[in-house]
């Protein structure tokens, strides 16, 4: 399957009411994001099978700030998926933004364990994303809700990673401030395709800040292409701004929210 087909299948997996039959082993990923937490199950051929996701603010800038809330959320999504899958989820892979302290990385493991899931693998988010993208040379940039993670890839190997605050949540904060509306209302407005063209001038400075972060971390590397992933980069015009600021051709796949969750699941050690 092509990249776009896999991402469309991942989106369809979130909406699938029930799975009647499947081949094992299953590959499971839990993406504990600043904005969205995703539980995704792949079939024996590592194709999206079923999943669930929910907006929640249990993580800030890649760090779990509501430990009990995070456990409850993962438990809820796990139960949802298990009910539709007809079998128990016992283990999964998960991921973390590059550069976060070891203690915060381990907290991700503890959240899964608190939800009754063995953490079978724990990798940084851009590396997980490239498990799906398969980029040999270039940069993968995962723009999440609270932070931007960067991985430079040479000959198929990640040679450099970095992570800095600034992401989709900052879009929402700017919109909320400019419009004088609550955060939740601003989040919904940000995702409204009809409203996005009028919102672009408000959020462009945040895009430019993300682009400047990327440009700074890519200095000294011979990067000819940037691939953006993460829910925040679905906002129209984001890749164009990054290309303008960095001077490097930049692309964004459709449904970029699901790139990292699929990659995480692909790296689940069964």
57-70 confidence digits (pLDDT tens) = 777 766 778 889 98
How do residues 59-115 score in pLDDT, each as one tens digit?
Answer: 776 677 888 998 999 999 999 999 999 999 999 999 988 877 777 888 999 999 999
- Based on DSSP, count helices (H) and strands (E) in the chain, helices before strands: 9, 12
Query: Residue 269: what pLDDT?
Result: 84
Can you say whether residue 163 is alpha, beta or left, with left for phi > 0 and alpha for psi between -120 and 50 degrees?
beta
With pLDDT > 90 as the criterion, what percentage of the chain qualifies?
76
Fold of 3-129+258-266: Nucleotidyltransferase; domain 5 (3.30.420)
The CATH code that applies to domain 133-256 is 3.30.420.40
* Dihedral angle over CA of 194, 198, 204, 205, nearest 10: -140
- Three-state DSSP at 77 gives helix
With pLDDT > 70 as the criterion, what percentage of the chain qualifies?
99
Range from 64-68, 211-215, 248-252 carrying the lowest mean pLDDT = 64-68
- Buried/exposed 90-102: b ≥16 CB within 10 Å, e otherwise: ebbbbbbbbebee
pTM over 0.75: yes
Query: Residue 62: what pLDDT?
Result: 66
CATH 3.30.420.40 residue window(s) in the chain? 3-129+258-266, 133-256
């Amino acid at each position: 399957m092509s990249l776009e087909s896999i991402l469309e299948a991942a989106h369809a997996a979130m909406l699938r009411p029930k799975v009647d039959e499947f081949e094992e082993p299953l590959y499971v990923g839990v993406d504990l994001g600043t904005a969205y937490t995703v539980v995704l199950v792949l079939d024996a051929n590592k194709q999206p099978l079923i999943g669930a996701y929910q907006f929640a603010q249990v993580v800030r800038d890649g760090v779990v700030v509501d430990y009990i809330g995070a456990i409850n959320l993962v438990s809820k999504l796990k139960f949802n998926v298990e009910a539709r899958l007809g079998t128990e989820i016992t283990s999964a892979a998960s991921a973390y933004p590059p550069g976060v302290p070891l203690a915060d990385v381990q907290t991700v493991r503890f959240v899964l364990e608190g939800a009754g899931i063995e953490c079978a693998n724990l990798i940084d988010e851009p590396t997980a994303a490239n498990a799906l993208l398969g980029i040999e040379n270039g940069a993968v940039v995962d723009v999440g809700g609270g932070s931007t993670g960067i991985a430079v890839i040479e000959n198929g190997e990640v040679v450099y990673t970095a992570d800095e605050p600034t992401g989709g949540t900052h879009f929402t904060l700017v919109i909320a401030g400019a419009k004088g509306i609550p955060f939740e209302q601003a989040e919904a407005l940000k995702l409204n395709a009809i409203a996005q063209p009028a919102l672009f001038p408000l959020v462009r400075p945040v895009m430019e800040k993300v682009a400047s972060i990327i440009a700074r971390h890519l200095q000294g590397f011979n990067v000819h292409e940037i691939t953006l992933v993460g829910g925040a980069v679905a906002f129209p015009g984001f890749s164009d701004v990054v290309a303008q600021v960095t001077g490097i051709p930049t692309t964004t796949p459709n449904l970029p929210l699901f790139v990292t969750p699929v990659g995480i699941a692909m790296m689940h050690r069964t």
